[in-house]
Structure 1
Amino acid sequence: MTPLRVVSGSANPALAAAVAERLDADALGVVLERFPDGEIRPIVGHVSGQDVYVVQPTAPPVNDNFVELLLLLDACRRSRAARVTAVVPYLGYSRQDRRTVSGQALGLRVVVEAIAGAGAERLVVIDPHTPALESVSPIPVETLTAVPLLAERVSPVRGGDTVIVAPDAGAATLAERYAAITGHSVALVRKYRENESSVSAIALLGDVRHRPAVIVDDMICTGATIEAAVGMLLHHAADIVVAASHGPLAGAAHLHRLDVRRVLVTDTVAHAAVAPPFEVCSVAPLLAEAIARMHEDLPLHDLFAPARMGPRSA
């Protein structure tokens, strides 16, 4: 069988190392040279004839990490790797899946076409912001989910009749996925976004009175949506926990001041240090299992559809 090789970019080497350890493989480090003007030149080791998985989330600084990903993919291709897969747990530009006004670019399509053009034959992501990802990608996309991992950590929340809360309409489907696993009911916060950093909650649909609440979203960036949802729930819920697949946390320091017991994110984005209420759940086991199956050309479908944990609440 073709040897398996994990290549680690600089965006999240700890995650790449954890994945490689679970695969009983070495994480091939990269020499990252920098020119005085900021230009980078990554150099990979021996990957000729190997099945290569480049682990490089495009987390902040998004553009720097994205360019590094492209150069790593090209370097592996030019080093005659047998097959190159881009493992991008957090995919930047996923929010730019459609144009809302004239003159905008379709950023998501540009990004995935660039990844394919740089040499990736497959793309692996975790809980992308848009379900339209594969429809605009010229290469196959394996979409994994961190929802079962997070659902296990938040359910039950101090017992009681927990309710899963979508902080906006866009997270409603995600909330239903949590509910299908945990057996809890769902509530929805309606919001109004004034700009990228200012959000107002205008209505709460569902019964959360005196019940533990779990606010779920695919990502926390500025934290404005979460803050608005927490503000809406404070006078109703008995306890509040937040769970999100990705935590770029750009400007979200104010979440430390919110009256929530826990904020769970994964390590799709590297976190140098976290303090309560933040907690980090690792997706290394999920990625390692997916890579092991892809290496052996086995199906991944049962990684996408977790079994229910219990009966659905009334």
Structure 2
Amino acid sequence: MAALIAGACVYFFFQLAKAFGADYFGLEGSALVRRILLALFPIFGTWTWCNLGFGGAWQIALGLALLGQTAALYFTLVRPSPFVAGAFFALAFGNRTELLITLPLYTYFLWRRPNEELTPSSRSRMVRKGLRENVPMAMRFLSVPATLALLTAAYNFARFHSIFDFGYTHIPEVREEPWYEHGLFSIHAIQWNMYTMLFQGFESVSYFPHILPNGFGCSIFLASPFLCLLFREGGRYKVAAWVAIASLTLVLWCHGNPGSWQFSYRYAMILLPWMFLLLTANGTAKITVSEISLFAVSVAINGMATWLFLWTEQIQP
């Protein structure tokens, strides 16, 4: 299952690059090399490789959320199909509920805007025209997500007597865990999550490989130096991508537990489609030496982590 998710993600990332112009449609030249590198990066150049390799229910759910978002963006930006995009968005938020907050961004991308110049006298007419033209699109996009949301709410109410109770706190002993002292989500958890995601480092040991990842998290920038390229200037969809990353990160930081047993910060897997938009857009179509170098280092780090976690006994809970 993990391999299937990884392969599908790589495919949709490869296709999603087409959203950035004709340079990414060809199957030759340096643009193709960059396109392949960027498609491989979210899986093999990040913590996704190791965490998806665990193959547990929580990790598979994150992988499906990653796949759902990537495919939804493809069917929104490259090959607009509101119904299919909505179905994949439903797959995403069905596995990670917090992704519902990105819903407005998909409708924004799909929204068809009038070509006519607006004047004060024509503004209201153009608004009505825009709504009339886009309501069918919105209905197609929302049909599957709305159905899933209603069925989930009905299930939650029937089983837990609240549409907002997803059953997590009913897992034995979860409520007794110290990090949920202030609830499943709390602003008190922000500091711990922020430290784990951005600042926590590796551990040093006297034997090969002399440094070991902490089994309870480390900085995403340490796990994937390629992410340093996020901060280059320019890029299409820059504002929307940063809005998605910021809003999702805030929700993730409020979670009482920053991920437990993991490599790096597994929750951040759901940020990768939006990071992909930034990384693809804020560079040239021609691959650069810095991109190749940072990609190679990132793959090496995550390959080593995957080996240490899954094929050795050097890192244990």
Whether these two folds match at TM > 0.5 is no
Ranked by relative contact order (alpha carbons within 8 Å, sequence separation 6 or more), the top structure is 2
Select the structure of larger CA radius of gyration: 2
Q: Which has the higher helix share?
A: 2
Q: Which has the higher strand share?
A: 1
- TM-score between the two structures when normalised by the length of structure 2: 0.23
